[in-house]
Amino acid sequence: MAAGRGEFYSSVAEGFLRLSAQLAPPAPGTRAPALSSRGVPGPGRRQAEPERRRAGGRGRGKKRGRQLPQAEPPAGKVETRLPTEILIKILSYLNAPSLFCISHVSKLFLRLANDDVVWQKIYMSEFMSQTWKPRTADVLETKGVATEMEDQLVGHWKKMYFRTVAGQEMDKWRRELKAKSPYTGLPRQTEWVLRNLNMSWELTVHDRSGSESCLHMSRAHFSESSVIVCWNKCNFSSHRHIASIQLHGVRKEAPKSLKIGKDWRSLILRVDRDSPRRVIGKDKLMKLVHVSPGVIIGVWRGQGNVAFIMISLHFHKLVEKSLLGSPACPYSGPVERPLSCSWDPKLGLHGYTLHFVLHNTGTAIMSGHSRQLSCRTVQIQHGLLELRFINRTNVSQHRSLSGNVNLPWKSDSLEGSVENCCIMTMTLLDESQEPFWCVSSPICIRMAEKPPRSDYSGECFLMDYRDADGKVKMELVWLKEEKQFFLFGLTVYVSVFKVYKYYGRSS
């Protein structure tokens, strides 16, 4: 339990002290009620006990000593010898974590710790001063009737307490995520909220023999619209022996009032053994294996042992995915569809905004932003909408890639860098500037089989990405004199099925 034994026992002791202070002493001339505790006269004592006290003598002590076992209360637990009203009174002085702990002692304490009277007192003391109070008597009477009906539900006030605590905690970071960046279209404070919540990400890896390993995050690299999470301590003989990988968001420090168990785990990503795998790059020591949708496994060359695992996560709904999912199911938020206009024949074909970044764990290789991207009906081919971000024929849109295209890696003992690999983070916004298609995935450069037409002299290369929602195609040329890549074509293809589903259209 998150609430320690010392805190629990001190809370119970404090409840006993407060109860004893409230009990008034017996009035003069009246006989105090008999108690069944050790050393105190009770119903089992004989009436001749006072005479034996006055008799004195050594033999009297022996006689009293022989009778002590008979004066013991009957065998049984303490809670079975106290009235229910007194136990509820004692439990009313406990806080929420202590009540949760004591409910695991016995069935009696489970029933008493879930009593609505106790939880109503806790709820009123903590949250009643923060709630809005009606002014008119009619509203008070109506609310009183509704409250009376709700009180009849078992565990109503307990559910209200935890729901209010969780709601207050969610409102804090949701307020921080309201302000959006006009450049990326994403909340500005995503990184700040994740750091402030002390978020961490853990991997649960199952091998084909059935064993399970939990890997704790080694480090995280934040960029303007994504975060790259790395795990260095991996003890797997081969990536082919890995049957499944599960990525969970874990909040290390929960609210004090909710510290009643282990850290909550929210499932974000699951990769099975049937997921496509391909090598995207290598150097003298390391080989990078890309496991769809976005997992990079670093494998030692010549050995086959796994050195590290790296995953890139897009900022879109990342806080919700890391907090609000369950250990077995990922977060699934409400579907908010834009209003469809029957008079607009170009619905879903225009008004897109694209924010595009090529980066690695340390630097941004290329960053671009473009508004009012559109697609004509004649450009729809093979079920894909074509959105041209960098047109091959428009030289003013062409741009160079700053620095080398590489992906640094680090294990427990060594570090290096794989050339011609990086991370692509793309955010496509719809006409109302809401995220429509968000991707953060590793990508690599490969030689073009059929060099496209261009005004540049040099070898042509391609970088591409594909999934169920569409694909991205980049055309590059290597300039030997400048010793750098030049990007002269970038096209985003969006699935027509995704567009129709998003806008609620049949065709």
SS3 for 281-337 is EECCCEEEEEECCCEEEEEECCCCCEEEEEEEEECCCHHHHHHCCCCCCCCCCCCCC
Tell me what pLDDT residue 404 has. 84
Domain identity same for 384 and 302: no
Alpha-carbon span 41 to 71, nearest angstrom: 8
Domain identity same for 194 and 114: no
Domain identity same for 361 and 418: yes
DSSP strands (E only) in 330-458: 352-359, 364-373, 384-390, 399-400, 406-410, 415-419, 421-429, 435-444, 446-447
Does residue 499 belong to any structural domain of this protein?
yes
From first to last of the 507 residues of the chain, give the pLDDT tens digit.
444 555 655 666 666 666 566 555 555 555 544 444 444 444 444 444 444 444 444 444 444 444 444 444 444 455 557 788 888 888 888 887 788 788 888 888 888 888 888 888 887 877 765 544 444 444 444 444 445 444 455 677 777 777 776 666 777 888 889 999 988 999 999 999 999 988 999 999 998 888 888 999 999 999 999 999 999 888 787 888 888 999 999 987 654 444 444 567 899 999 998 888 999 999 999 999 999 888 999 999 988 889 999 999 999 999 999 988 888 889 887 777 676 666 677 788 899 999 999 999 989 999 999 999 999 888 898 999 999 999 988 888 999 998 789 999 998 888 999 999 999 999 999 988 999 999 999 999 999 888 777 778 888 999 999 999 999 999 999 988 888 899 999 999 999 999 988 887 766
Does residue 33 belong to any structural domain of this protein?
no
419 token code pair: 């050339």
Q: How many domains does the chain have?
A: 3
Does residue 164 belong to any structural domain of this protein?
no
Domain identity same for 199 and 292: yes
Tell me what pLDDT residue 256 has. 47
Alpha-carbon span 360 to 221, nearest angstrom: 9
Alpha-carbon span 294 to 278, nearest angstrom: 12
Exposure of 65 in the CB half-sphere (CA atoms within 13 A): 5
93 token code pair: 């002085």
Q: Which helix (H) or strand (E) holds 493?
A: strand 484-495
Alpha-carbon span 5 to 7, nearest angstrom: 5
Does residue 344 belong to any structural domain of this protein?
no
Q: What is the domain extent for residue 214?
A: 190-323
The per-residue DSSP string of 197-223 comes to TTEEEEEEEEETTS-EEEEE--EEEE-
Domain identity same for 297 and 209: yes
**Contact partners, residue 479, CB within 8 Å, separation at least 6:** 400, 456, 458, 485, 486
Domain identity same for 310 and 404: no
Tell me what pLDDT residue 268 has. 95
Domain identity same for 498 and 366: yes
Is the backbone peptide bond immediately before 276 cis, with ω within 30 degrees of 0? no
Does residue 36 belong to any structural domain of this protein?
no
Contact 233, 218 (CB under 8 A): yes
Choose one of 156, 181, 208: the last residue of a domain: 156
Domain identity same for 372 and 494: yes
Tell me what pLDDT residue 489 has. 93
Give how far Cα 41 sits from Cα of 20, 38, 300, 471, Å. 19, 8, 79, 87
Choose one of 274, 305, 323: the last residue of a domain: 323
Does residue 105 belong to any structural domain of this protein?
yes
Domain identity same for 9 and 151: yes
Does residue 175 belong to any structural domain of this protein?
no
Dihedral (CA of 112, 115, 117, 119) sign: positive
Choose one of 273, 302, 323: the last residue of a domain: 323
Tell me what pLDDT residue 49 has. 47
Domain identity same for 72 and 214: no
Alpha-carbon span 102 to 437, nearest angstrom: 49
Contact 375, 385 (CB under 8 A): yes
Strand, helix or coil at 133? coil
Domain identity same for 234 and 113: no
Does residue 176 belong to any structural domain of this protein?
no
Domain identity same for 195 and 256: yes
Alpha-carbon span 438 to 311, nearest angstrom: 15
